[in-house]
Amino acid sequence: MAWVTLSLEQCQAWIALHLACTTWPSLATQWARQLALPGMAERLLTEGLAALEAALPDLQARVQAVQRGQAFARYMQRLATEPVQVIPFVDARYPRPLRWIPDPPPVLYVRGTLVPEDELAVAVVGTRKPSAYGRLQAQRLSAELVRCGLTVISGMARGIDSLAHASALEAGGRTLAVLGSGINVVYPPENRRLYTAISEQGAVLSEFPLDTKPDRWNFPRRNRLISGLSLGVLVVEATTTSGSLHTARHALEQGREVFAVPGRVDSPSSRGTHGLIKHGAKLVEDVEDILAEFPEAVRQALAQRQPAPAGPPPRRLLHRR
């Protein structure tokens, strides 16, 4: 049976499951364990949530409890009017790379458009307070990546993330932003113009329900999606406590490549990236260092793509602080 595109009405049980996992965290853990079983993804496609009933006997009751609530009816009404796509795990639009990570979200909320070409992507992440050198390298490498036909993934945070998105857009390429908040909550707020530009020339994604605030514990969780969507993660400047190192760790756990840009030996923002290099991350000076680590099939697919067209005159996508 092929993956199909579901209407919002057909997504109701999946949305209820997603909200139930938010209400009962233990259910989210059980969902992840079941999905890791061989063949479960295919069973969900053919049987729906009934495939989980034997292992999770209280699942149906919890999902139905959510669906019976007035809050759920209001939530569905809002989704019908918001400019957002709701994409459950069994939907054809669900990013294929995420189906095979250890803990894929039951539902994604998306503004913009996901395309099959986004499966060839590199995540670019790093410090929120980059040096002039870090800014330059993030901008240069992100532009080079999209000119090679790759999509740039990041988290729309201040600093390296925002620079990566803006540079990809200005080079005429595609970029995806994975939020640590609800899809309708722009954070940081000064990135509203960038958020709009990404949704027009790529997509903004979130696994969190509408109106979810950007609480700090959401960001480590969303990092697994940044790495999961990519072939590899490039870290540009990071302290030893940087969240971008969490993204690199997820990449290793998911079988993705890890790349790092070297920096000044006396800079705290280089210690995280130098630590990655010491432990086996590929040192990156230019985009060829990244492409060399990918399988031949990936390099051939990129060679067949048209280079990203020259973008329009650069807009001021980033707020000047």
The residue ranges of every structural domain in the chain are 9-84, 116-303
Residue for token digits 């993804």? 41
Ramachandran angles phi, psi of 275, nearest 5° = -65, -40
Nearest Cα to Cα of residue 6 among 87, 66, 64: 87
pLDDT digits (tens, 9 = 90+) for 238-294: 999 999 999 999 999 999 999 999 999 999 999 999 999 999 999 999 999 999 999
Using CA atoms, how far apart are residues 192 and 70, in angstroms rounded to an integer? Answer: 31
The mean pLDDT value of the chain amounts to 93
Pair of tokens at residue 254:
């998911």
Q: What is the residue whose two structure tokens read 């086996």?
A: 280
Q: What angle do CA 163, 168, 173 make, to 5 degrees?
A: 170
SS3 226: helix
State the average pLDDT over residues 92-98.
96
Please tell me the predicted confidence (pLDDT) of residue 45.
87
Q: Which fold has domain 116-303?
A: Rossmann fold (3.40.50)
Is the pLDDT at 204 greater than 80? The verdict is yes
Residues 97/100/102/105 CA torsion (nearest 10 deg): 60
| Pick from 71-75, 104-108, 142-146, 312-316: least confident | 312-316
pLDDT band at 312 (very low <50, low <70, confident <90, very high): low
* pLDDT at residue 121 is higher than 60: yes
Position 310 confidence tier, pLDDT thresholds 50, 70, 90: low
pLDDT at 319: 57
| Phi, psi values for residue 261, rounded to 5° | -95, 125
pTM over 0.75: yes
Q: Which residues contact 36 (CB under 8 A, 6 or more apart)?
A: 102
